[in-house]
Chain A
Amino acid sequence: GENVEQHPSTLSVQEGDSAVIKCTYSDSASNYFPWYKQELGKRPQLIIDIRSNVGEKKDQRIAVTLNKTAKHFSLHITETQPEDSAVYFCAASRDAGGTSYGKLTFGQGTILTVHP
């Protein structure tokens, strides 16, 4: 089955700095890669996702890059703000086919702390 490794486990930055979280996956058939943000005491929520037919996707201050050859993808947050402090999870999935459709394998999570 799929295995997703996420690094670092904790990340501390100053407000305004950039933050980068990296994930690697093992299943070359995976073709959908979402990122979820979980604020303290709250449920995980999707913040951005990317499919394997593109190499990069941006949404305001966040971006995700994908390297299919190396089987890794990264989350980039620019101009970090204290409200970006949360746990971030990457995940990987096969987008279609069979009963595993929609099943996500998550990374271990990264605790991001943005200091004012």
Chain B
Amino acid sequence: DVKVTQSSRYLVKRTGEKVFLECVQDMDHENMFWYRQDPGLGLRLIYFSYDVKMKEKGDIPEGYSVSREKKERFSLILESASTNQTSMYLCASRAIDRGREQYFGPGTRLTVT
């Protein structure tokens, strides 16, 4: 059974803080993704990684960066958190040779005050 975990379910940070969101998957998936979910806007792709140390910008990368040093772990970094980054953040992973399903983590509700 695929398991995708995220480091925190709820997080409260202050404006200007550096924030790290961690995602770990245990199924040796090559692809990993970070989305933010906002009501009425669906899931919007921030960054994705198709393999270790490889990354590509998604649709809304501004204000974010990512790191993938190991295959199982994909980190999202908010260099200087702002109130408009208050959102639900979802991580997902996918194998490139075993179907196309993306498996999601439980999400991190980030509030920036």
Pairwise interchain contact B50-A99, C-beta atoms closer than 8 A: yes
Measured CB to CB, the nearest residue on chain B to A2 is B59
B102 located at the interface, meaning its Cβ lies under 8 Å from any Cβ of chain A in the complex: yes
The interface size of chain B toward A, counting residues with CB under 8 Å, comes to 26
Instruction: For B58, list chain A residues within 8 Å (CB).
Output: 103
Please tell me which stretch of A14-22, A40-48, A57-65, A68-76 contacts chain B, meaning at least 4 of its Cβ atoms lie within 8 angstroms of it. A40-48
Which of the residues B40, B44, B50, B102 comes within 8 Å of A46, measured between beta carbons?
A: B102
Measured CB to CB, the nearest residue on chain B to A45 is B104
Pairwise interchain contact B90-A103, C-beta atoms closer than 8 A: no
Instruction: For A104, list chain B residues within 8 Å (CB).
Output: 33, 45, 102
* B69-105 residues at the A interface, CB under 8 angstroms: 90, 94, 96, 100-102, 104-105
Instruction: For B50, list chain A residues within 8 Å (CB).
Output: 99, 101-102
Pairwise interchain contact B40-A108, C-beta atoms closer than 8 A: yes
Measured CB to CB, the nearest residue on chain B to A42 is B106
State A4–B45 Cα separation when bound (angstroms): 13
Measured CB to CB, the nearest residue on chain B to A103 is B48
Pairwise interchain contact A105-B90, C-beta atoms closer than 8 A: no
* A21-56 residues at the B interface, CB under 8 angstroms: 32, 34, 42-46, 49
Q: List the interface of chain B (C-beta within 8 A of A).
A: 4, 31, 33, 35, 40-45, 48, 50, 54, 56, 58-59, 90, 94, 96, 100-102, 104-107
* Extra contacts besides A43-B104, A101-B50 (19): CB < 8 Å: A43-B90, A43-B105, A44-B104, A46-B102, A49-B101, A89-B43, A99-B50, A99-B54, A100-B56, A101-B31, A102-B31, A102-B94, A103-B33, A103-B48, A103-B58, A107-B42, A108-B40, A108-B42, A109-B43
Q: List the interface of chain A (C-beta within 8 A of B).
A: 1, 4, 6, 9, 32, 34, 42-46, 49, 89, 93, 95, 99-109
User: What are 24 contact pairs spanning A and B, CB under 8 A?
Assistant: A1-B59, A4-B42, A6-B42, A9-B40, A34-B101, A42-B106, A43-B104, A43-B105, A43-B107, A44-B90, A44-B104, A46-B101, A49-B100, A89-B42, A95-B100, A101-B96, A102-B50, A102-B94, A103-B48, A104-B45, A104-B102, A105-B45, A108-B40, A108-B42
